[in-house]
Amino acid sequence: MSSIESTSPGGAAVLVRPATPEPPPPEIVSERARIDESCAVPCLVWFASSLFWLLVATVFGLVASLKLHIPGMHAEQAWLTFGRIRPVHLNLVAYGWGAMAAIGVMLWLMARLSRVPLRWPAALVFAAGFWNLGLLLGTIAILAGDSQGIEWLEFPTYVAFLLFVGFAITAVWALMTFAQRRVEHVYVSQWYMFGALFWFPWLYATVQVLLLLVPVKGVPQAAINWWFGHNVLGLWFTPIGLATAYYLIPKVIGRPIYSYYLSIMGFWTLAAFYNWAGIHHLISGPVPAWLVTVSTVGSMMMIIPVATVAVNHHMTMRGSFHLLRYSPTLRFVVFGSMAYTIVSLQGAFMALRVYNEPFHFTHHTIGHAHLGVYAFFTMIMFGAIYYIVPRLTGREWASSRLIKIHFWTTAVGITLMFLVLSIGGMIQGFEMNQASASLGSLMDEHGFFGGVYEFFGGFEVQNGAVPFLDIVAGTIPWLVLRSLTGVLILVGHVAFVILVVRNVHAWGKQRRGGPTLFHELPATATPALATTTATTTQTPAGGEERA
Amino acid sequence: MLTVYYILVFTFLGLFSTSVVLAFWWAVRKGEFRNFKEQAAAIFDADEPEGRLTDVFPGMREVAETNRKGAQVG
């Protein structure tokens, strides 16, 4: 492969033409095309389902958010009360959008990295059917009042069975694909995916048995609940998110990871430390102090794997940040990776008693959770879908503008949501625990800056000095702002769904070739869905368009 | 009932720990902790080689076409 590399005076890499472009051997192009073809139907089914549940979950989330500052809204309808709407939002984000997008991405990544097509893809569509049926029944059950009442586990046990069947099929398929691999080496993304495939059923089965089938009594219930609640993020969503980032960042910019050694160290340290965390959610609760301390230590130890990821991703991108202008996938994935560093470091410090005690029953924690599940995991999944779908359908994205709308509404929306909930929650926490008066009254008395200084800097600890209802009323402006950020995010999701629907169904003006660097495929290896498209024509710029 | 819990918890704890140790041992034996430079480049091939930007906004023709013809990203 001939190449000419150039670096600008500022150290940034620039695009230059090679002296002699060399087309890839046809068998390599065919191999890639066969793998993508085998993934097309199952991955698109998992992606389409995940996007459906994402839209439903977003609407439920927005309604739940509105009800926090308009409590009378639909209050007469039992199924629309906050206690049902909010768990539906949580479970559909976790098991609907998050898990289904993760499985779709994982199947494609595993096939690509193993360099073998997925066998019997129909079974994976069947698995998606089980999963979707579980989500539908679970949602109806919660809305009908048949919730388990345990956070993250509100779906009834019969739903868990359906999810297990769906998961078992996909896990077996992923492992079978790996077993048939044509490359000896196990790339770091595969290590993370193995971890996730192994850890999720272990976590989910443990809590199903210990909390629902043969429930333990008393305090251990809360300990197990939060061990699961925390680890489902760290040992399911996090490994899939990192596996995706470790594949896509180097792949998109065309440069290997800065330090493969660090990436492997990051995986094994995550495996060693994350499982200890979770019980710090019960700081000041009626659990043994040593249990909380062990969990806090585990959380602080997580700084090691987080640092390896942060250093690695930053150094891999160094000199290539200007490419964020050109690549939608890179924008979303780099945003997600940066959010991972922030949320993980914040999470480690939130496990300290001094940080946790004032804020753990406030909106501050909700902001942290959204930073993790959305700004980190969801944004990386968006980036992955932008990369994968054109390769499955053989069609380019229809609109740059819609992609940019999607990126900016979600990026700005989630950033503002995090800030609003963090600041509002911090004020709420101070007022509940140590402020001598509410922020509002101190501002009235001392002016804006004087009031803020007195509130945060006074440290005149008078627990209970601010009436609880005043504290609740003080959160309303922050909750209104949070709803507005939710609207922004909903707009982004609608734009994304429009893009995917247009791509899959080839609606409207479509592009083929060009941006994602498709090489001309042999006639026998055209991606399955591309056969439904109309004839393409070469444009003067070398790309292809069709109407 | 407590005995059942103990058996359950410690059995799975044992299985889990053993599987982690086995996975680590397998990785060491297979040479997964050697040749890091080669392993980092394992995701590239002649179709999607090193030095190529493989994802661009639709409409950014110039950049895309430059890459399509084999341009390098340093």
Task: Give the tokens for residue A310.
Answer: 């942060």
Q: Are residues B51 and B72 in the same domain?
A: yes
Please check whether residue A54 lies inside any domain of the structure. yes
Do residues A269 and A275 make contact, with C-beta atoms less than 8 angstroms apart? no
In percent, the amount of chain A with pLDDT more than 90 equals 66
SS (H, E, C) A129-145: HHHHHHHHHHHHHHHCC
Distance (Å, whole) CA A240 – CA A333: 12
Q: DSSP character for A546?
A: E
* Domain assignment of residue B19, given as a range: 1-34
In whole angstroms, what is the distance from residue A426 CA to residue A420 CA?
10
Q: Domains in chain B: how many in total? A: 2
Q: How confident is the model at residue A2 (pLDDT cuts 50, 70, 90)?
A: very low
Residues B5 and B30 in one domain: yes
What is the reported pLDDT for A528?
44
The torsion region of residue A265 among left (phi > 0), alpha (psi -120 to 50) and beta comes to alpha
Task: Write the residue in A256, A257, A400 that is nearest to B59 by C-beta.
Answer: A400
Number of neighbours of residue A400 by Cβ within 10 angstroms: 15
Determine, yes or no, domain membership for A460: no
Interface membership of A489 toward B (CB under 8 Å)? no
Residue A114's domain comprises: 23-185
> What was the pLDDT predicted at A17?
40
Within this chain, do residues B49 and B30 fall inside the same structural domain, yes or no?
Answer: no
Q: Does residue A48 surpass a pLDDT of 80?
A: yes
Query: Do B24 and B51 belong together in one domain?
Result: no
Element (H, E) at A29: helix A26-69
Domain identity same for B52 and B73: yes
Relative to beta strand A537-538, strand A544-546 is antiparallel
Per CB-CB distance under 8 Å, the chain A contacts of B60 are: 326, 400, 515
Query: Rounded to a whole number, what is the distance in Å from the CA of B52 to chain A's nearest CA?
Result: 5
CB A375 within 8 A of CB A415: yes
Weakly modelled stretches of chain B, pLDDT under 50: 68-74
Q: Which amino acid is at A406?
A: H
**Is any Cβ of chain B less than 8 angstroms from the Cβ of A186?**
yes
pLDDT at A9 over 60: no
Are B30 and B57 within one domain? Answer: no
d(CA A473, CA A453) in angstroms, rounded, equals 21
What average pLDDT does range A342-363 have in this prediction? 92
Contacts with A53 (C-beta within 8 Å, 6 or more apart), sequence order: A92, A96, A97, A100, A135
Tell me how many degrees the CA angle A222-A227-A228 measures, rounded to the nearest 5.
100
CB spacing of B37 vs A399 below 8 angstroms: no
Judged by a CB distance cut-off of 8 A, whether residue A503 touches chain B is: no
Under 8 Å CB pairs connecting chains A and B tally to 187
Nearest CA in chain B to A386: B55
CA distance B47 to chain A (A): 5
pLDDT confidence tier of residue A532, bands split at 50, 70 and 90: very low
pLDDT in the model for residue A10: 39
Give the nearest chain B residue to A32 (CA atoms).
Answer: B47
- Tell me the C-alpha to C-alpha distance, in Å, between residue A422 and each of A363, A430, A475: 7, 12, 11
Residue of B nearest to A513 (CA): B68
- Nearest beta carbon to residue A254 from set B20, B24, B50: B50
Q: Is residue A465 part of a domain?
A: no
**What would the pLDDT profile of A151-189 be if each residue is shown by its tens digit?**
999 999 999 999 999 999 999 999 999 999 998 889 999
Residues B3 and B30 in one domain: yes
Give the 3-state secondary structure of residue A396.
Answer: strand
Q: DSSP letters of A209-270?
A: IIIIIS---SHHHHHHHHHHHHHHIIIIIHHHHHHHHHHHHHHHHT---S-HHHHHHHHHHH
A residues 93-112 closer than 8 Å to B (CB): none
Which chain B residue has its CA at the smallest distance from A216's CA?
B5
A4 pLDDT more than 50: no
Q: What is the Cα–Cα distance from A18 to A251, expressed in whole angstroms?
A: 19
Q: Which residues pair with A13 in a beta bridge?
A: A7
Of B32, B43, B47, the CB nearest to A250: B43
CA separation (Å) from A484 to A65, A98, A409, A412, A515?
9, 23, 11, 11, 34
* Domains held by chain A: number: 1
Do residue B29 and residue B3 come from a single domain? yes
Instruction: Quote ipTM for the complex.
Output: 0.84
Distance (Å, whole) CA A547 – CA A435: 64
**Mean pLDDT across A275-303:** 92
Residue A435 to residue A244: CA distance in whole angstroms = 44
Chain B closest CA to A280's CA: distance in Å?
A: 21
Structure tokens at A66: 């509105």
Judgement on whether residues B3 and B27 belong to the same structural domain of the protein: yes
Sequence-ordered alpha helix ranges (H) in A256-327: 260-273, 289-301, 303-317
Whether residue A512 contacts residue A531, with contact meaning beta carbons closer than 8 Å, is answered with no
Q: Which of residues 306-335 of A touch B (CB under 8 A)?
A: 319-320, 323, 326-330
Question: Are B1 and B21 in the same domain?
Answer: yes
**Which residue stretches of chain B are H helix?**
2-29, 36-40, 61-68
pLDDT in the model for residue A298: 94
Which residues lie below 8 Å from residue A31, measured CB to CB, with a gap of 6+? Answer: A115, B47
Evaluate whether residue A534 is within a structural domain: no
Structural domain includes residue A166: yes
Min Cα distance A70 → chain B (Å) is 41
Has residue A413 been placed in a domain?
Answer: no
Residues of A whose CB is below 8 A from B65: 514, 541-543
How many Cα atoms occupy the beta-carbon half-sphere of A123 within 13 Å? Answer: 14
Res. A40 pLDDT band, cuts 50 70 90 = very high
Most confident listed range (A11-25, A314-328, A526-540): A314-328
β-partners of residue A510 are A546
**Which residues in chain A have their CB less than 8 angstroms from residue B67's CB?**
15, 517
Tens of pLDDT along A465-498? 788 898 999 999 999 999 999 999 999 999 999 9
Average pLDDT over residues A521-530: 46
Question: Residue A252: which of B30, B55, B69 has the nearest Cβ?
Answer: B55
Is pLDDT at A264 greater than 90 in this prediction? yes
